[in-house]
Amino acid sequence: MSNLIIQSYCLGDLATNAYLVWNKKTLNATLIDPADSGDFLSEEILHHQLKLEKIVLTHGHFDHCLGLLEVKLNFPNAPVLMNSEDQFLIKNAQKNAKHWLNREVDPVPIPDQDLARKTDIEIAGVNFEIIPTPGHTPGSVSFYSLEEKVLFSGDTLFKQAVGRTDFSYSSPEELKLSLKKLFVLPKETKVLSGHGEETTIGAEVL
CA-CA distance, 174 to 26, in Å (whole number)?
38
Is pLDDT of 122 > 90?
A: yes
Per-residue pLDDT of 97-106, as tens digits, reads: 888 888 888 8
Per-residue pLDDT, 129: 97
Distance CA 133, CA 115 (A): 12
pLDDT at 69: 95
Distances 203 to 49, 86, 186, 194, 199 between C-alpha atoms, Å: 35, 29, 11, 17, 7
Domains along the chain with CATH numbers: 4-204 (3.60.15.10)
